[in-house]
Structure 1
Amino acid sequence: MLMRIGGVDAEPGNDSWIPVINPATGDEIDRVPEGTKDDVERAVAAADAAFFVWKKKTQRERGMILFRAAGIVREQHKDLARLLTTEQGKPLRESIDEIRGFANILEFYAGISGAQNGELVRLGATGDALVTREPLGICGAIIPWNMPVLIMGWKVGPALLAGNTLVLKPASSTPLTTLRLTQILDTVGLSPGTLNIITGPGETVGEAIAEHPSIKKLSFTGNYATGQRIRERAAGSIKELTLELGGSDPMIVMPDADINKAVDGAIRGRFYNAGQTCTAVKRLFVHESIATEFSRKLKQNAEALRLGNGLDTGTDMGPLNSAIQRERIEILINKVQDAGQGTILTGGTRPEGAEYSRGFFFRPTVVSDVEKTSGLLTGEVFGPVLPVVPVPDLDTAITEANRTSYGLGASIWTNNLHTAKRAFDEIHAGIIWVNRHLTVPPEIPFGGMNESGLGRENGLHALESYSRTKTLLLGW
């Protein structure tokens, strides 16, 4: 599959290609160009040529284009979901949810088109002021492999509605659905060059986007180390940044919570997408009075998850996205066991069987007796491993929840309003769930604190971040 520049499929500037691998089988399913800095220049030129045409459309006209695209995505959601599962690995029902989520995002922004109408400020006898908002210009986006479609929507929706053009780099392991969605957008009225997709490595394509002086805003989702590098590269020019850099989300369960509901929430919150989600439950703190029962049920439910190819009916959890991702998890588990920093209640190994031999599978894993110095609690574990830590009270739970350099999300499971309020007030995170975890509707701002990044995705907050105010002063 080729890149998209100027509204058409584009040949690469060289003859190098990147294989796209099915994580469940290890088979190559397609190839995409290994883009270069010159390809980024071509995309920026196309975005620049398209900007004034796209900017002149009213926000309502741009919203209708997004709405039409959402309708086609809904019509084709099954085929798009199969493509997403084949390149990413997640179960088909999760891919369907993600494709529908992309349509939801486009529909949300279409629904608020016209929200930025400007304002008249009466200044009295000296005159009046008209404050309007205008697009920034050419924007850049770099999206990850774990939720490539949803996160594409988070960036494309507000950027295009605000009147910007966009140069976007998908992850090299999951570019195909992004390219297919861009083809759909190009068929419903985007000015050619409004949305350009350049495939290729982060160290070439990603850094070229970050450094380019014509790109006025860059939105990046990925890990902290790469985010730091992107920030350094972007510092050579004046551009706005949105950085979503992951998290180590805590889940706190108090004794008055519905235990069965909380166990189900922990299973879904940790093992959805094989644990490869920024807002996944990564550290589970359970009140010691219910910890034994909770751990027993958690172990049973984890062992009941059906591991397999995401395209197979009945699969609960697919493979990890790559061999590298699985190797990272295995190294961490081995360190925990070698250092005696935790007890594996279930999982901890690759599954046995011929059907798992070629894919990047790893069993759902639950770990107890975890020491505070363990990497399971001190970093972001991007895989199906859940550490369970008993705590004596809410004070301790909140202290442990905040024992991280991240601050993306957190959840509290309780039927006590005061307890929920304390968690909201005292946990350092950008979003706090009560008796739920993981869901992020397009209407609400999403982003973190500390090393979880800068800025917010979603909602009116994201739309405003893709525009700037401009004021006309009128004298009488």
Structure 2
Amino acid sequence: MNRAIESPRILLAMALREQGSANRFAARYLGGLLPERTPEIRLLKDYIKTHGYPSATNDEIDDIAFAEYAIGGARETAQACEEAKRIRRLMHRELHDNGAGLTLRERAEGLIPLGKKLWKHYEDFKEIGIAEGTPVKLFDWQTRKIFKSLHREHIDFATSRLEPEEIPCNEAGERTVLSRYPFGAVGIFPPYNAAIGLGGLAILSSYWAGNANVIRTPSRMPLTNMELVYVLTDAMKELDFPVSAFQSVIGPAREIADYMINRSPLNAMVYYGDSEVGLQLMAQATLRGMHFVPELAGSGASLVWKDVDIDKAAQYVTHARFFGSGQICLAAKRLFLHEAIFDEFMEALVEMSNQLKVGLPEDSNTDLPALGTRALYQIIDMTAEALGKGAKLETGGYRMNVHGERDDAGLFYMPTILSDVPLDCKMWYYETFGPVLPVMRISSFEQAISQANNTPYGLRTSVYSDDPEIWQRFFDEIDAPGIAVNTDHLYFDDYYPHLGGLKTSGIHGGKYFYESLTYMKYRHFPG
């Protein structure tokens, strides 16, 4: 991956090698006439215009290959889903003397050796993640948070939320008991940008809930997730637990999702991804009677009030927007800044943003990884639209190569901050999956909350103020379940809810995955 990031020439040459001779001829001699139908073609045209035709030897192309893997489809997915159906009863039973199957407490106890196994392979996961392009800072941040949660105190806390509960009855001596039961067989679509972090969170939570799992490995970064499934399966074998509780399939996302929803015996699905696609899949699942847990896009708002410590709040906002080049669903993507401190805060924010470094994934100093082509051209177009409508460019607004040099065909994007962005610009309304931040000058709380809620998304937000009344008003009125108050917008700990959104970010609000992947059964006993 390093060679590919250092020289997009090799990646483009590899893509061209797969094309027919007519397409290669068109790219070499008629590049300027190629229709810009896809981000990949736009990148090719930009590269030819800036650096010339991207040629590479077969040895150079072969050198950037890290691993080979088999691609599956509906047939392989069907086999995995049938196996999940077969073993789902082995994953859960309520009482020890109630036939075969793991009790909640047995599954919980299994998390201790599972956690030890994951830590044992941590460096293997990191090596693969870096090879796939995940920067070491981002990998450590997301992966350690998940692995560290597998300790006794947290396991007991989470398990207690799934245990049977007896509630009062009208008649003396009678009993009503509420129990959480797993859905049974679950399909999971982890995100490519956090395959082992957020993906691992959903996978481990589903096991905790008592489900058998079929994981559609993200095709952009498949190896980390495949290794996770391999390690978990090996640990299940050592525990003498059902070894096919974790299965992975890789192939076309739409084909696999269509099979899982419309033809498979699965009972539930977890989907991380684009809101438009996710809600379409959710509608299909609902028509079939399948439980669906969406974890979708976000356009988080951050409110900075006039009474803050400017340097401290600017540090939080810089991290919230630009960490990992902003390719995080719950990142802060819109800033509402009080006019009383606007100029001073903006100066600090620009200075901090300009200090962030691009680089290779293995470099621990890398703050800004390369962008995917779709995200790259999305923010290029949104920035151009805003500037064309009169927005002010405070900093950034251009592409870079791995050395931080300006490059009109680069895969990196300079942290970009814009003010005076007209309200009809797309970056206010749609998710920006890259390092671009529109900033609105606000004079009242009412103005801030009105614009913060003027989005189809509702995932994670933050507020920075020394006034508890501002905190509470923000908490009461913001249309999002996650609120950080005077702390890291990306805050997460063992006990913190597992994301969850409102509106097109997820509908159901904040959640714990292990609860979302169970349903309530209730029973009444006479006196």
Q: TM-score under structure 2 normalisation?
A: 0.80
Which residue of 268, 273, 291 maps to 2:342?
A: 291
2:351 corresponding residue in structure 1: 300
Q: How many angstroms does 1:205 deviate by?
A: 1.3
Does structure 2 conserve the Cα–Cα contact (< 8 Å) formed by 1:34 and 1:199?
A: yes
Query: What does residue range 68-217 of structure 1 map to in structure 2 within 5 Å?
Result: 68-87=113-132, 89-107=133-151, 108-109=154-155, 112-113=158-159, 115-120=161-166, 124=171, 127-189=174-236, 190-217=241-268
> Hey, what does 2:503 align to over in structure 1?
450
Is the 1:362–1:384 contact (alpha carbons within 8 Å) kept by the matching residues of 2? Answer: yes
Contact 2:137 2:364 in 1 (8 A): no
The alpha-carbon deviation at position 325 of structure 1 amounts to 2.2
2:137 is matched by which residue type in structure 1?
Answer: R
Structure 1 unmatched runs, 5+: 1-18
Which deviations, in whole Å up to 9, do the C-alpha atoms of 1:272-331 show, x marking residues without a partner?
A: 1110111111011111111111111111111111111121242222111x2222122222
- Give the conservation status (yes or no) of the 8 Å contact 2:386–2:422: no
The answer (yes or no) to whether the contact 2:324–2:367 under 8 Å persists in 1 is: no
Output aligned runs, 1:66-465, within 5 Å: 66-87=111-132, 89-107=133-151, 108-109=154-155, 112-113=158-159, 115-120=161-166, 124=171, 127-189=174-236, 190-320=241-371, 322-337=372-387, 339-352=388-401, 360-436=411-487, 437-445=489-497, 446-455=499-508, 459=512, 462-465=513-516
Structure 1 residue identity aligned to 2:124: D
Which AA in structure 2 matches 1:119? E
Choose 117-126 or 393-402, whichever is displaced more. 117-126
Report the Cα distance in structure 2 between the residues aligned to 1:389 and 1:191, rounded to whole angstroms: 54
TM-align CA RMSD? 2.5
Deviations 1:65-122, CA, capped at 9 Å, x for gaps:
22222222223323322322331x3431221122212213444446633653313457
Partner of 1:43: 80
Aligned residues: 453
Question: Would the alpha carbon gap of residues 204 and 110 (structure 1) be closer, same or farther in structure 2, given more than 3 Å must change?
Answer: farther
Q: Which runs of 5+ in 2 are unaligned?
A: 12-63, 93-100
Deviations, residues 210-269 of structure 1 (Å, cap 9, x unaligned):
324521111111111111221233234211111122111111111101110111011100
**Cα deviation digits, residues 115-146 of structure 1 (max 9, x gap):** 53313457546854444332211011112212
> Which stretch has the larger CA shift, 232-241 or 165-174?
232-241
Given the superposition, is the C-alpha separation of residues 351 and 407 from structure 1 closer, same or farther in structure 2, using an over 3 Å criterion? same
1:241/1:454 contact within 8 Å kept:
no
- Structure with the largest fraction of helix: 2
Bigger RCO of structures 1 and 2 (CA < 8 A, at least 6 apart)? 1
DSSP 3-state at the match of 2:128: helix
Aligned residue identity for 2:491: T
Tell me whether 439-448 or 191-200 shows the greater mean CA deviation.
Answer: 439-448
Whichever residue aligns with residue 206 of structure 2, its letter is A
Do the aligned partners of residues 22 and 86 (structure 1) sit closer, same or farther apart at CA in structure 2, a change above 3 Å counting? farther
**Farther off after superposition, 343-352 or 109-118:** 109-118
Deviations 1:187-211 (A, max 9, x none): 1124121111111222111222232
**What is the rounded CA distance, in whole Å, between the counterparts of 2:373 and 2:278 in structure 1?**
23
Shift of residue 334, structure 1, vs aligned partner: 2.3
Aligned in 2, Cα 1:101/1:313: closer, same or farther, shift over 3 Å? closer
Distance, in Å, in 2 between the alignment partners of 1:20 and 1:232 is 40
SS in 2 for 1:290: helix
3-state SS in 2 of match to 1:215: coil
Kindly state the Cα deviation for residue 389 of structure 1 after the two structures are TM-superposed.
Answer: 1.4
- SS of the residue 1:282 aligns to: strand
